[in-house]
Amino acid sequence: AARSGSLPFEELLAGAEAAAKLGSQVVLDALDKPRRIDYKGATDLVTDTDKKCELAVLQEIQRRFPDHLILGEEGGVIGNSSSDYLWCVDPLDGTTNFAHGYPSFAVSVAVLYKGRPAAATVVEFAGGPFCWVTRTFTSSSGKAAISFHLLNFSNQVERSLLVTGFGYDHDEAWATNISLFKDFTDVSRGVRRLGAAAVDMCHVSLGIVEAYWEYRLKPWDMAAGVLMVEEAGGKVTKMDGGEFSVFDRSVLVSNGVIHPKLLDRISPATKTLVNQGLDFSQWYKP
């Protein structure tokens, strides 16, 4: 169904699916080849595959939607800055995993309409050497392809499996998250650290983990994953429980029922760490 003045979400979703598929072919071709690695920081890697994949994704989006704005992790922002549509592209989410051949990582493509995720596709690479498999998550606002399978659905933190992530900057939020990792490990069935934010959120949408949180993410890390969780019937907020936007710097996603129980366990001091850091006004003016 279309919102007035906007493209039908089906058209956006078809674009996201096609672009992510082209990107995932670039990644597939690279799986068994040596990596060429550059460094953006001491442990912040980028491979030639990140760049090649982004190019393939961007070309497809531009071909289909020449008047949209596109934000890619490796290429910055291109296109029409007054467009209501902003594509957020993470050509390879989980670059460190990809560089090592360690599952999982993903190609993540989302389009925002007036700042809110409208359609998205995440192609997850799982399995590992000799048994790579891909799993595609795709959703548009109001229509989910995959939602919680209810086998393990837990409404108690004590019976939940959780997952988090840690950014490359070892700042105050990073250190605080080390303590949160300890606190939540103590009260849950465990906290995993997989290394690909988009995949983590897709796993919440599947119901194989009950919740995921992280600080200091960027729009391309979150835009697709949060839509999967929302459309599966889960909940998405900032780490202080406040209303989430992809231009925020922290995210807590869950199956919904354990959301308030998780927030209860985050201290007021930790809750103030939600949004320090980057200014996204160069990309987006609400």
* Long-range contacts of residues 242-246, Cβ cutoff 8 Å, at least 24 apart: 242/274, 245/115, 245/116, 246/88, 246/112, 246/115, 246/117, 246/219, 246/222
Tokens, residue 76: 């910055």
Taking residues 9 to 48 in sequence order and writing x for each that binds Ca ion by CB under 5 A, - otherwise, the string is: ----------------------------------------
Q: b vs e for 266-284, b when ≥16 Cβ sit within 10 Å of the residue's Cβ? A: beeebeebbbebeebeebb
Q: Which is nearer to ligand IPD, 94 or 234 (CB)?
A: 94
* Smallest distance from ligand IPD to CB 194, Å: 7
Q: How far is CA 194 from CA 29, 150, 165, 197, 247, in A?
A: 23, 22, 7, 8, 23
Q: Which is nearer to Ca ion, 109 or 262 (CB)?
A: 109
Taking residues 196 to 235 in sequence order and writing x for each that binds ligand IPD by CB under 6 A, - otherwise, the string is: xx----------------x--x---x--------------
Q: Of 4-12, 80-88, 127-135, 216-224, which part binds Ca ion (CB under 5 A)?
A: 216-224
* Smallest distance from ligand IPD to CB 244, Å: 16
Q: Does 214 bind Ca ion (CB under 5 A)?
A: no
Count of residues that bind ligand IPD according to CB under 6 A: 14
Q: Which of residues 176-195 bind ligand IPD (CB under 6 A)?
A: 195
* Smallest distance from Ca ion to CB 151, Å: 29
DSSP string, 95-129: HHHHHHT-S-EEEEEEEEETTEEEEEEEEEEES-T
Q: b vs e for 180-208, b when ≥16 Cβ sit within 10 Å of the residue's Cβ? A: beeebeeebbebeebbbbbbbbbbbbbbe
Cβ atoms 144, 13 nearer than 8 A = no
Q: Does 90 bind ligand IPD (CB under 6 A)?
A: yes
Identify the CA nearest to 149 among candidates 255, 17, 257, 256: 255
Q: Which residue is nearest to ligand IPD (CB)?
A: 165
* Smallest distance from ligand IPD to CB 277, Å: 12
Q: Which of residues 93-112 bind Ca ion (CB under 5 A)?
A: 93, 95
Cβ atoms 8, 130 nearer than 8 A = no
Q: Which of 54, 90, 230, 231 binds Ca ion (CB under 5 A)?
A: 90
Q: Of 30-38, 144-152, 159-167, 171-179, which part binds ligand IPD (CB under 6 A)?
A: 159-167
From CA 72, how far away is CA 200, in angstroms rounded? 20
* Smallest distance from Ca ion to CB 246, Å: 12
Q: Does 72 bind ligand IPD (CB under 6 A)?
A: no
Residues that bind Ca ion (CB under 5 A): 73, 90, 92-93, 95, 221
